[in-house]
Amino acid sequence: MRRKPLILGLCLFFNAATFSSARAEVAADQAEFLMHKVLGTASCATSGCHGGAGPVHGAVATFTREDPHARSYDTLATPRSARMGEALGIADVRTSASCTVCHAPTASVPEGLRGADLRIEDGVGCASCHDSAESWLRTHTRPELDHAAKVAAGMRDLRSAYARANACVACHQVIEPRLVETGRHPRLIFELDGQLAAEPAHWREVHGWDGAKAWLVGQAVAWCEASAARSDGRDTLAGAAEREAALAWLVGRAGGERLEGLAADAVARRADADWPAGEGEAVLRRLAGAGGDFRAAGVSRLEQAYRAERLVLGLDRVVAAWPERARAKAAEPVLVRLFAAAQSVPDFEPASFATLLDELARLVGGAG
Ligand code: HEC
Ligand code: HEC
Ligand code: HEC
């Protein structure tokens, strides 16, 4: 099993004025989604299907017992959510699209397309990631059909890092600014590899999984989403430009010459399709060697802070994926200190962060 993130989530509840994100635009994805009846989790849960045990056959049990998504609707019933609602002038957060669009997305499925067992209370359920099952339910178990045929029948492709990142990013990067500002909703930071490792896998990784590649693909997709949200006006608040610039810096730094000059989506596709042997280690060295960038003049402290916030999450993933296990283990204490140094955006000190990075670079063999 892959190591869970060493760094368990950044503290994202600081000063709301500094932090803003953008409104989610999950709806676009739903045009396709809405052509077929949307079935509930119960449709997948019979014992011969995914209501059994183990990966794949036990998907429903693993998911409902342990997956953070299984409680996404219940979160809306907590006092904390009710207080967010009060601050935002929302009478009932359990029925407001401002919340259900991510916490209970099937709430927006029109009456005529609701399967008999579709329950809003299931929150982020099977259909939220795999797409509405009606079109492929009967065919997806036929042994003569391969993955591509199932996908052609309407099952969403989640196999590649690129496809998967695009499925998750819709709910995990951009959020309506007032929710963070007024409602104190956590600011969202998408990071594919660590967030996947934090979900109990209810599947078998068919083609293996390269954590370092997945991390970079995920950051390029996050960058793409952050840029789109700024240019179409969903991310309007202070700090958004710095966060976007920080992502561009990070992806450029990690990708190296091979991916230089490519736009965000092209980086994501190229990294996913073509990942040379040893590339993960090369990414680690490039990132650990970034100390000089934190000493450079001409970059605002705010942008530096956002660079650091993303960088530590990335270092965690590329170290976790590093085949040299003993050296990876030895690097962990420095990672923890780097994380602490990146924890608070308002208090960020680029110079001391750079010194810690140099220390990491010596441990992993990157240029200081
Ligand atoms: C339809 C929206 C939606 C999609 C798609 C989605 N998530 Fe989530 N995710 C949520 C919500 C809402 C929560 C908060 C759950 C709660 O109430 O605690 C969450 C929580 C999580 C958490 C726990 C909190 C955290 O950030 O550590 C992880 C991990 C996670 N999601 C990973 C993923 C991954 C990986 C994917 C893609 C395979 C994904 N999610 C796709 C909506 C979504
Ligand atoms: C853009 C998608 C999105 C929207 C819209 C959204 N949330 Fe969330 N929410 C998430 C994700 C993702 C998480 C998990 C974040 C994390 O842990 O970093 C989360 C976490 C939370 C948490 C914290 C859960 C915990 O255990 O820490 C609360 C409370 C919450 N949301 C309530 C709401 C309410 C109330 C609304 C509407 C006013 C709302 N959310 C709208 C995606 C969303
Ligand atoms: C947060 C997103 C998300 C949700 C929600 C989700 N899954 Fe998945 N699921 C994935 C990912 C990612 C994979 C791995 C992709 C793959 O193997 O093709 C996967 C794979 C699977 C597989 C294995 C497919 C295969 O071909 O090996 C099954 C079965 C499955 N999911 C069933 C379910 C069921 C049943 C539910 C609801 C109880 C569910 N999933 C909810 C993300 C999700």
Q: Radius of gyration of the chain from Cα atoms?
A: 21
Tokens of 59: 């998907």
Please work out whether the CB of residue 76 comes within 6 Å of at least one atom of ligand 2: yes
- Asked if the model's pLDDT at residue 14 lies above 60, the reply is no
Q: Is residue 357 part of a domain?
A: no
Owning domain of residue 84? 27-275
Q: How far is the CA of 202 from the centre of ligand 3 (A)?
A: 6
What total number of domains does the chain contain? 1
Is the minimum distance from the CB of 81 to ligand 2 under 6 angstroms?
Answer: yes
Gap between the Cα atoms of 209 and 213, Å rounded: 8
| In-domain check, residue 202 | yes
258: left (phi over 0), alpha (psi -120 to 50) or beta: alpha
Over the stretch 295-317, which tens digit does the pLDDT of each residue have?
999 999 999 999 999 999 999 99
Signed CA dihedral, 199, 201, 203, 205: sign only: positive
Q: Measured at the alpha carbon of residue 180, what is the angle toward residues 100 and 24, in degrees to the nearest 5?
A: 45
212 C-alpha to center of ligand 1: Å? 20
Residue nearest to atom 40 of ligand 3 (CA): 126
Give the Å distance between the CA of 145 and the centre of ligand 1.
30
Centroid of ligand 2 to alpha carbon of 336 (angstroms): 26
Whether residue 308 lies inside any domain: the answer is no
Give the residue-averaged pLDDT of 148-176.
90
Chain centroid to Cα 330, Å, comes to: 27
User: For residue 315, is it within any domain?
Assistant: no
**181's tokens:** 């500002």
Q: Answer whether residue 181 is part of any domain.
A: yes
Which ligand lies nearest the alpha carbon of 185?
2
What is the band of 135 on the pLDDT scale with cuts at 50, 70, 90?
low
Nearest to 320 by CA among 306, 331, 310: 331
Mean pLDDT across the chain: 87
Q: Which of 87-101, 126-140, 329-343 has the lowest mean pLDDT?
A: 126-140
Is 140 part of any domain? Answer: yes
- Label residue 26 by pLDDT band (50, 70, 90): very low
Q: Are 207 and 318 in contact (CB under 8 A)?
A: no
Q: Is residue 38 part of a domain?
A: yes
- Residue 305 falls within a domain, yes or no? no
Q: Give the Cα separation of 350 and 239 in Å (integer).
A: 17
Please identify, by atom number, the ligand 3 atom nearest to the C-alpha of residue 50: 35
Please indicate whether residue 80, judged by its CB atom, sits closer than 6 Å to ligand 2: yes
- What gap in Å lies between CA 215 and CA 211, rounded to an integer? 6
CB atoms within 10 A of CB 48: 8
Count Cβ atoms below 10 Å from residue 321 Cβ, excluding itself: 22
